A and B are shown apart, each in its own frame.
Chain A
């Protein structure tokens, strides 16, 4: 025996021999303490923060909705006056679109995509953290605006000239414009991360044709974000410069054009609807195989349907502008495009139907929400076909009919699958089950409350009730249906509350979930719940679309990645063949510092142009720290590649 073998093992070496995960855990666990929390760049932490923050703003936006419903419950009500009402409905729309719907979908992407593709983190973890902090600052900024009577008040669409310098006086519109800049910056950061993560970090063997549907949905959505968000950032910056430094992009009197704003805004805002909706399609396609115990029917068709929805989604924006007096031939083109988009969505509805037809359904809460989605989204889709028609749209545009339509599409089409997804993945995220009885109760309340709230609004719109009015005259006869809608909103709110309480209670006291409580098919169910900081002890390989159902015990795993440094495996775009190892950056305060500097720039620019050079300098300093080259690791000289 050599002396070296006789010496006692250090505790670290002992731990490494008995538990090979310990060293991985040391490498991937965030630093301790509050500062460590701020430095965290783990995708699971950032994803959870996105989801929790987005749901907080969902709750706040919901409270605003209830205030509006109380105000409209009866004619000539005086609960809130027009000034406050306008701030409330603008903040409600902006919160739900910018601070809830997009971030929550992206948050699920950030949390799930690395798990679903079998890697350890997103491709650009520091950018990911930066995106979250920027989003948080923008979101808080909007709400500080509302609470200090500086809430934007010209509608979430901010039509000029009402939002321009002449009619939108004060700082209210500026708050909105910069909130948009914040949130779109954050959305772009996530989108770039998800695109690269899903194309380059997939487990060996997970060729494109085996990629999970939710990863497809995230990838497609992220590509849409890359094309749509710059349009609105451009537009909101033009609006801000019209307001702050007297440019005239949208001023008709000086050769600008108010319709330019509408084109730029809807060129972003219609795809925005699909940016919210396509991830929900991914949720539905993930929940159905698990709860109907069947493979999806027509996987390639489903992927192509989502891709074509994304493409066509960029060609329909003018259907928001039919009443602006555009030439008739052009309008017919947009009618045709808007009807066309019903085809891929319809095909997906039929493919899911086919999967259910041959499946064996277990009626757990996620599946109930998916069934509620089918019913509700179908109605929203049909009214969507109606508003695609120019003559019909001229009547129902900007009325409560459209309020009904958009909530059927966004709540029925996106929020129902989202809540289903919460019930589905909560055990994975927290390690505990949500209470099933409370889940069923919440689904029933949400479904009934939703229909009571929004179905009557179709009739109100046909009866001439325009949107965005703070009150109405008794003689209009709109009172009874509005009262019904308000009662429904109370029931709907109660249903959401049941789920929120369920989440709050179950995260500590729920039944222990185990790694795969649903007998589901995705790769994420093969690791523990909650997943360890490094996700998978050995990076998995994949041989088909349903790894958790099919993988034999001898399924190969990836060897050869360093455990002492955050190494990941880069694979090929098409076939996910192993390509090379790459090292991810470590936790640092640079992202939050850069986000704060960005915040100083954007918020300060509302008050003085000097904020731009000063904030720019601060951002530069933060970025220098961010990209400062790492000192070589002490072990690097000795470590032998395993």
Chain B
């Protein structure tokens, strides 16, 4: 599998493509201005240095008033060109802004709500029947070819949702509901990470966007709406007891069980996700064990406390969590 895409110059969606073409306009205008200005400055400086060498200090007061008028005419002309160029860039920018807003009218958009937390993403796919709301974390699945309307808020500090290959940023602000619209046409994985400084682990607050064909997405979503699969064997069953008998339940929810904490990520289908701790680690059983035993070594400052478990309890707990597909 190729690495997830993460560059505004490598657009995977309509919005990012609009911005990337605007970038091209600004970049080439800037290069032209840069070459012209540096060229003129170089010629002026070389001339003036030579003149000093050959003609000496000269008398700065003996300037010809006509030369000053000529100079001013040149400056006015250059200023006029600047104004025209800036106006053109302003028009290009506003047109791109309207193009970005076009998706907002799509009545068929899929609504997803994302809540920023220190330092992970809480993601909800709502449903008319609240019991069927699918809740996940740090991994946003969306169908290709359909507008997605993201409702963004935060329950602690300000975060910013940014997946460069899909769209520009939008802040998640406590007490406010922000909206952004994206649309992806090619299946694939896109990486993003929090772009507003949000405290200790701002650096480790990544989000993966998985763009899937509509039928794959529908299957994924249907599965996510289901409660957790029951423990498959005796060890996993014991693991469930360990989970429910430990502080885990205070913060984490697993649908279909008595675990209903809301402070940490929902674990109903945690094992189906590709990363742990908001992109800090690949989701493998070894990494999961390390994360459970010593979260601070992975993500110093994370709100997840260390778990002290007897070895067999830990293995049972891992077996249970690995079964939450």
Contacts and interface: CB of A to CB of B under 8 A. Distances in A.
Interface stretch (B34-42, B137-145, B315-323): B34-42
Contacts of A398: 160, 169, 195-197
Contacts of B107: none
Contact of B301 (A82, A298, A331, A353): A82
A395 B169 contact: yes
Contacts of B222: none
B23 A392 contact: yes
A109 B58 CA distance: 30
Interface stretch (A20-28, A40-48, A250-258, A565-573): A250-258
A475 interface: yes
Nearest to B4: A475
Interface residues of B, number: 87
A298 B92 CA distance: 32
B74 A354 contact: yes
B60 A294 contact: yes
Interface stretch (B63-71, B120-128, B224-232): B63-71
Interface in B182-237: 191-204
A298 B72 contact: yes
A399 B8 CA distance: 11
Given A324-B173, A354-B71, A391-B22, A82 B60 contact: no
Contact of B26 (A340, A378, A385): A385
Contacts of A336: 90
A234 B71 CA distance: 46
Contacts of B56: 360
B310 interface: no
A295 B60 contact: yes
A394 interface: yes
Contact of B97 (A323, A382, A391): A391
Given A258-B174, A358-B63, A464-B6, A378 B199 contact: no
Interface string A364-389: 00000001001100110011011011
B34 A378 contact: yes
Contacts, number: 258
A389 B27 CA distance: 12
Contacts of B202: 82, 466, 468-470
B93 A83 contact: no
Contact of B168 (A349, A360, A394, A472): A394
Interface stretch (A154-162, A444-452, A624-632): A154-162
Nearest to B156: A167
B215 to A, nearest CB: 30
Contacts of B178: 324-325
B130 interface: no
A336 B45 CA distance: 33
B109 to A, nearest CB: 17
Contacts of A464: 6-8, 162, 164, 191-193
13 contacts: A159-B158, A161-B158, A295-B61, A325-B178, A342-B82, A343-B83, A354-B75, A356-B48, A378-B38, A397-B195, A464-B8, A477-B3, A546-B60
| A-B residue pairs, 9 tightest by C-beta | A394-B168, A252-B175, A469-B203, A360-B52, A389-B93, A325-B178, A354-B71, A361-B48, A464-B6
Interface of B: 3, 6-9, 16, 18-19, 22-23, 26, 30, 33-34, 37-38, 40-41, 44-45, 47-49, 51-52, 55-58, 60-61, 63, 67-68, 71-72, 74-75, 78-79, 82-83, 86, 89-90, 92-94, 96-97, 100-101, 118, 156-158, 160, 162, 164, 167-171, 173-176, 178-179, 191-204, 279, 300-301
Given A252-B176, A521-B60, 11 more contacts: A82-B203, A289-B60, A297-B71, A325-B170, A325-B176, A343-B82, A358-B63, A360-B57, A362-B52, A399-B195, A473-B279
